[in-house]
């Protein structure tokens, strides 16, 4: 049975009072558990979420579970399917805060039916990558300024996946620059998900090149196969679909391949809390996973992402294309 990689508990003793941290998708799953731990250590955590009620429920859950925390929990609205919402979020945040120590691009959707964002992008590419790219682009100046003010590098963590490589039963992820919106071919929701997760990995890679690690440490992570609602679109949403989903969840939990959200948050927390001098900016920090490549299955902090489709210029090309797309939207 696989053993999850977990943080040294000494990292959880660090005092984060005064630090401001944004976590997208903070109301459930790994985002919720990441928020819980950082708040417990005294940070001001901004829950960047689309659904206000779920965010408020998360605030109540976390605050109740950590009654002695000296941190703060603040909800700010963010809808990743609408780039104007990302721009509004940046204005709302900077009107209230002049400091940002960590940005965690955690939110994501998986293998959903074909649909488009408000700006006309395929849903997984638009939400998982493009909106998060714009958010990072808008937040980079305050991240850099905070590093200069504090004398400590800020952090950027991008939630990727083993899907950025290849999972058992799939080919290697690739980015179709000629058809990013999956309009020229039959829609493959799994391949579109893999493309978006490869984008998440490459964003951290390119960010590490554009910003010196003394000012900003960038990393991407694979959280593991986490028991969450992320798999809701893998089978139909009906009685039989729910039955199949629950059966597979129990089987993979029993085998140890599916882990809790607390364990799923470990890779992110490591990248946020680990000493700066021991971090590899641009690195991929992976929980164990269902990789096609046997040598990658155990994971690693960091792990070299096995994907022969990634060329030396893929990250920079993606950055340039993404800049143009968000500028035009």
Q: Which residue from 256, 42, 283 is spatially nearest to 155, judged by alpha carbons?
A: 283
Q: How far apart are CA 153 and CA 276, in angstroms?
A: 7
Concatenated DSSP letters of 253-319: HHHT-EE-HHHHTHHHHHHHHS-GGG--TTEEEE-S--BSSGGGTT-BSS-----TT--TTHHHHHH
Task: Determine phi and psi for 164, rounding to 5 degrees.
Answer: -70, -15
Give me 127's structure tokens: 């939400």
> At 103, is the secondary structure helix, strand, or coil?
strand
Q: What stretches of 102-181 adopt beta strand conformation (E)?
A: 102-105, 154-159
Q: How far is CA 33 from CA 43, 54, 106, 139, 178, in A?
A: 14, 14, 11, 23, 38
Q: How far apart are CA 226 and CA 237, in angstroms?
A: 19
Q: Has 75 been annotated as catalytic?
A: no
Of 193, 201, 285, 291, catalytic: 193
* 124 torsion bin: left (phi>0), alpha (psi -120 to 50), beta (else): alpha
Q: How far apart are CA 179 and CA 183, in angstroms?
A: 6
> At 75, is the secondary structure helix, strand, or coil?
strand
Task: Determine phi and psi for 197, rounding to 5 degrees.
Answer: -75, -30
List residues with catalytic annotation.
193
């Amino acid at each position: 049975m696989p053993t999850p990689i977990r943080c040294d508990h000494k990292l959880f003793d660090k005092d984060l009072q005064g630090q401001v941290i944004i976590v997208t998708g903070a109301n459930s799953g790994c985002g919720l558990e990441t928020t819980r731990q950082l708040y417990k250590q005294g940070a001001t955590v901004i829950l960047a979420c689309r659904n206000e009620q779920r965010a408020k429920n998360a605030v109540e859950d976390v605050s109740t579970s950590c009654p002695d925390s000296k941190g703060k929990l603040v909800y700010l609205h963010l809808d990743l399917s609408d780039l104007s919402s990302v721009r509004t979020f940046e204005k709302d945040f900077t009107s209230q805060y002049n400091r940002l120590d960590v940005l965690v691009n955690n939110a994501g959707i998986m293998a959903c039916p074909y649909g488009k964002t408000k700006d006309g992008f395929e849903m997984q590419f638009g939400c998982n990558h493009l909106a998060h790219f714009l958010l990072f682009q808008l937040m980079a100046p305050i991240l850099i300024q905070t590093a200069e003010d504090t004398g400590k590098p800020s952090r950027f963590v991008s939630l990727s996946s083993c899907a950025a490589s290849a999972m058992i039963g799939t080919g290697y992820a690739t980015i179709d620059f000629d058809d990013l919106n999956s309009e020229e071919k039959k829609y493959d929701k799994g391949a579109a998900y893999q493309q978006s997760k490869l984008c998440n990995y490459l964003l951290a890679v390119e960010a590490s090149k554009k910003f010196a690690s003394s000012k900003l440490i960038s990393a991407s992570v694979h959280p593991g196969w986490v028991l969450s609602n992320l798999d809701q679109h893998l089978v139909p949403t009906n009685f039989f679909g729910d039955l199949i989903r629950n059966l597979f969840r129990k089987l993979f939990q029993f085998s140890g391949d599916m882990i809790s959200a607390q364990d799923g948050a470990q890779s992110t927390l490591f990248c946020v809390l680990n000493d700066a001098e021991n971090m590899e900016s641009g690195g991929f920090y992976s929980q164990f996973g269902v990789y096609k490549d046997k040598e990658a299955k155990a994971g690693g902090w960091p792990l070299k992402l096995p994907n022969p489709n990634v060329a030396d210029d893929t990250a920079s090309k993606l950055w340039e294309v993404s800049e143009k797309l968000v500028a035009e939207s």
